[in-house]
C-alpha cells in the first residue's frame, strides 16, 4: 500500500500513482498538456540505468525526463520540435544529432494522434491523425533513430495510449506501435499505467460512455524494449 506521495520501485506490471509529480520539487510542468507522470520515468531510470549513464528523451515536452534524470545523477539530453524551456534542444526526433551506439537509455512519450495541440510547428507528429498509416510510418522513423543511437543491450521505453472517437471508432495505437518497435528491438515487457486527472473523468463523460456504448481510456501502455545484438533487423 502506497502512502500519499511516497514513491516506490514498482514490482508488478500495473503502475498507479495519484499525482503527476512526486516529492517536493517539480518534475516537468503538470500544467503542460500531455505531461508524463514523473514516477514512471523515476521507476524506469532506477531499473535500467545507473548514475553517470546518458539518458535521452527525443520528445521531452515540458522536461520531466530532464528533471528526474538530473535528480538521480544521470546525464541527460532532452529534445523537442518545440522547446518548452531553455535547457531543451530544438530537434526533430526523426534525425537525432548523436553518434551511433552512444546512449544508455531512451524514454519517449510521443503524441498518440492529433488529439492534443502541442505547437504550431509543421513537423510536429501530433498534427497527424492515428487514423492514417502515415502516423505510424513517422513514429517508425523515430524508432529507427532510437535504435541507431542506443548502445547494444540497452533499453528504450515508450509511453503510448489508444484512441477512440465517435466517427473512427477504436484504434489500438499502442499495439500498432508495438508491432513497429518489434521490427527493431527485443520486446521485454508491457506495463499498464493508470490514467489519472483526465479531463474526461467527469460524470457527464461517464454517462455518455454508457449511453453511447464506448469506454473512456483508463490506462496507457508503457512498452519496454532492448536493443538486442542478436535481433538486428533494421528494415
Ligand atoms: C506527450 S508530449 C511529451 C511530454 C513530456 N514527456 C513531458 O513530460 O512533458 C509529446 C511531445 O512530442 C513533441 N513532438 C512532436 N513531434 C515531434 C518531432 N517530430 N520531433 C520532436 N518532438 C516532437 C511535442 O512537441 C510534445 O512536446
DSSP, res 13: S
* Predicted structure pTM score: 0.95
Q: Is the CB of 139 under 6 A from ligand 1?
A: no
**What atom of ligand 1 comes closest to residue 93's alpha carbon?**
20
Task: Check the CA dihedral 151-152-154-160 and report its sign.
Answer: positive
Contact 126, 59 (CB under 8 A): no
Would you state the cell numbers that stand for residue 73, as one nine-digit string?
545523477
To test the pocket of ligand 1, the residue of 87, 94, 124, 158 to mutate (highest count of ligand atoms within 8 Å of its CB) is: 124
DSSP output for 117-130: ---S-TT-GGGS-T
Would you state the cell numbers that stand for residue 34, as one nine-digit string?
500531455
Q: Report the CATH number of the 14-226 domain.
A: 3.40.50.150
Q: Is the CB of 28 under 6 A from ligand 1?
A: yes
Would you state the cell numbers that stand for residue 228, as one nine-digit string?
538486442
Q: Residue 231: what pLDDT?
A: 63
Tens digit of pLDDT at every position of the chain (235 positions)? 444 467 899 999 999 998 899 998 999 999 999 999 999 999 999 999 999 999 999 999 999 999 999 999 999 999 999 999 999 999 999 999 999 999 999 999 999 999 999 999 999 999 999 999 999 999 999 999 999 999 999 999 999 999 998 888 999 999 999 999 999 999 999 999 999 867 777 889 899 999 989 999 999 999 999 999 766 555 4
Q: Residue 54: what pLDDT?
A: 98
User: What residue spans define the domains of the chain?
Assistant: 14-226
Cα–ligand 1 centroid distance for 97 (angstroms): 17
DSSP, res 43: H
Q: Residue 200: what pLDDT?
A: 75
Q: Determine whether 76 is exposed, middle or buried from the number of CB atoms within 10 Å of its CB (0-12, 13-18, 19+).
A: buried
Q: Is the CB of 92 under 6 A from ligand 1?
A: yes
Spatial distance between the Cα atoms of 27 and 7, rounded to a whole number of angstroms: 13
Q: Residue 235: what pLDDT?
A: 47
Amino acid at each position: 500500500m502506497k502512502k500519499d506521495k511516497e514513491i516506490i520501485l514498482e514490482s508488478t506490471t500495473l503502475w498507479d500513482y495519484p499525482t503527476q509529480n512526486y516529492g517536493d520539487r517539480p518534475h516537468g510542468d503538470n500544467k503542460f498538456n500531455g505531461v508524463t507522470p514523473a514516477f514512471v520515468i523515476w521507476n524506469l531510470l532506477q531499473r535500467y540505468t545507473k548514475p553517470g549513464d546518458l539518458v535521452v528523451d527525443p520528445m521531452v515536452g515540458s522536461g520531466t525526463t530532464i528533471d528526474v534524470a538530473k535528480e538521480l545523477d544521470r546525464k541527460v539530453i532532452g529534445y523537442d520540435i518545440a522547446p518548452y524551456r531553455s535547457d531543451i534542444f530544438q530537434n526533430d526526433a526523426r534525425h537525432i544529432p548523436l553518434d551511433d551506439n552512444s546512449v544508455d537509455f531512451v524514454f519517449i512519450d510521443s503524441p498518440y494522434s492529433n488529439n492534443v495541440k502541442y505547437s504550431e510547428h509543421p513537423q510536429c507528429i501530433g498534427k497527424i491523425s492515428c487514423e492514417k498509416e502515415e502516423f505510424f510510418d513517422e513514429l517508425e522513423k523515430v524508432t529507427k533513430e532510437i535504435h541507431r543511437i542506443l548502445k547494444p543491450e540497452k533499453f528504450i521505453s515508450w509511453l503510448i495510449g489508444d484512441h477512440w472517437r465517435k466517427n473512427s471508432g477504436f484504434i489500438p495505437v499502442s499495439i500498432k506501435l508495438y508491432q513497429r518497435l518489434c521490427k527493431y528491438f527485443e520486446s521485454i515487457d508491457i506495463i499498464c499505467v493508470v490514467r489519472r486527472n483526465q479531463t474526461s473523468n467527469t460524470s457527464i463523460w461517464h454517462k455518455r460512455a454508457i449511453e453511447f456504448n464506448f469506454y473512456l481510456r483508463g490506462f496507457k501502455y508503457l512498452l519496454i524494449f532492448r536493443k538486442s545484438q542478436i535481433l538486428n533487423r533494421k528494415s
